[in-house]
A and B are shown apart, each in its own frame.
Chain A
């Protein structure tokens, strides 16, 4: 099984992308997408990406819902900060959080989440110390930001445990 489908999730993902791009569920599209998915899975084998096993679909859905809410909330918050910048300089600053995630893909996902929520910018992750340096636009409450990142960390750990 592993020799034929080295990265099953990737192959399925490529098939879905192919179907979305062609906007059809015709048998021909599915066959072509499957061939592409399997072939590109073999190609990816040569790149030896970090393998991870996401689990617990239900938890994942709940986690992405909470992330989505955070994205909306932080969009509004950052928009307000920018509109008020003439009257009140943003109280921005650097924060460091210890993040104990080994999985490379989980780290990449964390980076995507933190970039997608405006107001936090990922700057540097120190693998040795397992600490993340990030910049916060509006640091009203340091504790809240650190708790938010910790919550993401816990969610990702559950997903990739």
Chain B
């Protein structure tokens, strides 16, 4: 941590701002997970951390180490890309599980499964 003091003031402000903003967004996402009323709305809260939070904190890291080591640093981009690529998998899994449960329990306000079109049935069974 000691060599962080080598960071010039302007860069320190930029990095600080980005990290704090990213952390604030991630925190708001976590608060949302706690406070939102039902499962489907709660699905939205963590995506704040996985989009805004990750992007801002990774940008801060890029700026910080690029300035410190005096060269371009880009490999944090990979973190952003992989996080954005993999969150839909979990989110869809959770969403579909919730939908399935609510449809089985016949809860109100949940859209029903649409019946498959007739000509598609044969295709669906093959898969």
Nearest Cβ on chain A to B27's Cβ, whole angstroms: 10
A20-B77, A23-B75, A75-B52 known; A82-B32 Cβ under 8 A: yes
* CA A117 to CA B123, docked complex, whole Å: 33
* CA A117 to CA B44, docked complex, whole Å: 9
Nearest Cβ on chain A to B31's Cβ, whole angstroms: 6
Nearest Cβ on chain A to B60's Cβ, whole angstroms: 16
Interface assignment of A36: CB less than 8 Å from any CB of chain B: no
**Interface hit among A38-46, A54-62, A120-128, A153-161:** A120-128
Nearest Cβ on chain A to B104's Cβ, whole angstroms: 15
CB pair A124 B44 closer than 8 Å: no
* CA A75 to CA B40, docked complex, whole Å: 17
Partner of A118, one of B44, B77, B95, B124: B44
Partner of A23, one of B44, B73, B99: B73
Annotate B82-98 by CB proximity to A: 1 below 8 A, 0 otherwise.
00110110011001100
* CA A115 to CA B40, docked complex, whole Å: 13
Within 8 A of B (CB), among A11-27: 17, 20-21, 23
CB pair A131 B77 closer than 8 Å: no
CB pair A21 B114 closer than 8 Å: no
Within 8 A of B (CB), among A77-120: 78-79, 81-83, 85-86, 89-90, 92, 94, 96, 108, 111-112, 114-120
Which residues of B lie under 8 Å from residue A71 when comparing CB positions?
A: 51-52, 55
CB pair B36 A118 closer than 8 Å: no
Majority SS of interface residues in chain A? mixed
Q: Select from chain B the residue with minimum beta-carbon distance to A125.
A: B92
* CA A135 to CA B84, docked complex, whole Å: 18
* CA A140 to CA B116, docked complex, whole Å: 31
A75-B48, A78-B44, A89-B37 known; A122-B92 Cβ under 8 A: yes
* CA A119 to CA B46, docked complex, whole Å: 10
Interface assignment of A133: CB less than 8 Å from any CB of chain B: yes
A interface residue numbers (CB < 8 A to B): 17, 20-21, 23, 71-72, 75, 78-79, 81-83, 85-86, 89-90, 92, 94, 96, 108, 111-112, 114-124, 126-129, 131, 133, 135, 137
User: What are 16 A-B contacts defined by CB distance under 8 Å?
Assistant: A20-B75, A21-B75, A75-B51, A78-B32, A79-B28, A79-B52, A85-B37, A89-B37, A118-B47, A118-B48, A121-B43, A121-B91, A122-B88, A128-B116, A128-B117, A131-B114
B interface residue numbers (CB < 8 A to A): 25, 28-29, 31-32, 35-38, 40-41, 43-45, 47-48, 50-52, 55, 73-75, 77-78, 84-85, 87-88, 91-92, 95-96, 99, 110-111, 114, 116-117, 120, 123-124
